[in-house]
Structure 1
């Protein structure tokens, strides 16, 4: 059974809402700050860490007047989608799968990748790029 997709909703935030978001962020600073959910008939419950981090990012965007887009990603993606997420060609992705650089599995005759594995590979690639850039800057500094 397919999960229903939420309809697009555009919410306009005014200066008052931006200030409230800023105040909430300030209250979360320090080791004791965390987001929680409360209902009138139950005690407040802390949110899971990752959800709290996501909501803090939304609050930061609201506080700064930025636009926020929240989407969902399936647990598994096709090779075309994974390649697009990584910013590489599909043939390059298939070489990575063949080499074992990124895990994949077959669903019938189709190759599928876990979204989590694709995002991990993307983060690793970004870290390698940052390290290479830092090394290049260091080399440039040594020449001066």
Structure 2
């Protein structure tokens, strides 16, 4: 196995039959080990095995996978794409200080770790907001068990 530098790398899905075989293996084997061509082996930690399963699952859906170290920096467009928002919306978040950035020249750069942290915090805040909304709705008796059909019968 060659050692790659720690830059971003994108992997595209291999052929379907190979993925199906790998997916079936990962689903049926709870613990795995890595074996070298010389026959040496070492167990694969659960966290790494779980990630491998997620990678295989995404590839089998036809999605490409990008592996990048957390200190990787992104352009504003890459960060916006990762968050699923427009670049102008991301720039507003940067200018409000919600996501740290650097600007070594004319262009802003954002750390992948900071973007992932923002995404995680945003999702947690959204979940808390939805939980509160459900609680308020239940308290106001806005959930009804007696649904009335409005469909016309002919």
More helix by share: 1
Count of aligned residue pairs for this structure pair: 132
Q: Which residue of 2 aligns with 1:71?
A: 65
Correspondence 1:46 to 2:52: no
* Gap change, CA 1:47 and 1:80, over 3 Å in 2: same
Where structure 1 has 5 or more consecutive residues not aligned to the other structure, the ranges are 29-34
* Gap change, CA 1:15 and 1:83, over 3 Å in 2: closer
Q: Which residue of 2 aligns with 1:11?
A: 16
Contact conserved, 2:12 with 2:63, CA < 8 A, in 1?
A: no
Correspondence 1:85 to 2:82: yes
Contact conserved, 1:58 with 1:68, CA < 8 A, in 2?
A: no
The CA deviation at 1:87 is 2.4
1:98 to 95, 98, 114: 95
Per the normalisation by structure 1, the TM-score is 0.69
* Gap change, CA 1:96 and 1:3, over 3 Å in 2: closer
| Higher radius of gyration, 1 or 2 | 2
Contact conserved, 1:73 with 1:115, CA < 8 A, in 2?
A: no
Q: Could you say what secondary structure the match of 1:103 adopts?
A: coil
Q: Which residue of 2 aligns with 1:31?
A: none
Once structures 1 and 2 are overlaid, which stretch shifts more, 49-58 or 115-124? 49-58
Where structure 2 has 5 or more consecutive residues not aligned to the other structure, the ranges are 142-154
- State the Cα RMSD in Å: 3.3
The CA deviation at 1:88 is 2.5
